Amino acid sequence: MGTQDLVLKTLAESEAPLKPGEIAQIAGIDQKEVEKAIKALKNEGKITSPKRCYYSIV
């Protein structure tokens, strides 16, 4: 499972929007990798940012 898949899975299982650090901690991956995945997923329209620095699945 790739980093983007782990980020999507973590966000899908969360009831509230998460910060990149929280996603990294829950998924057990490096925060820099999470930030790269978030940027790509946001560009693809798969995730959204309901408020600054928080992300949730569309």
Domain borders along the chain are 3-57
The two tokens of residue 31 are 């925060």
pLDDT in tens, 3-49: 999 999 999 999 999 999 999 999 999 999 999 999 999 999 999 99
Give the residue-averaged pLDDT of 44-55.
96
- Kindly indicate the confidence band of residue 1, based on its pLDDT and cuts at 50, 70 and 90: confident
Distance CA 27, CA 6 (A): 6
Is pLDDT above 90 for 2? yes
pTM of the model: 0.91
Name 56's bridge partners.
48
Radius of gyration of the chain (CA): 10
DSSP 11-53: HHH-SS-B-HHHHHHHHTS-HHHHHHHHHHHHHHTSEEEEETT
CATH class of the 3-57 domain in this structure: mainly alpha
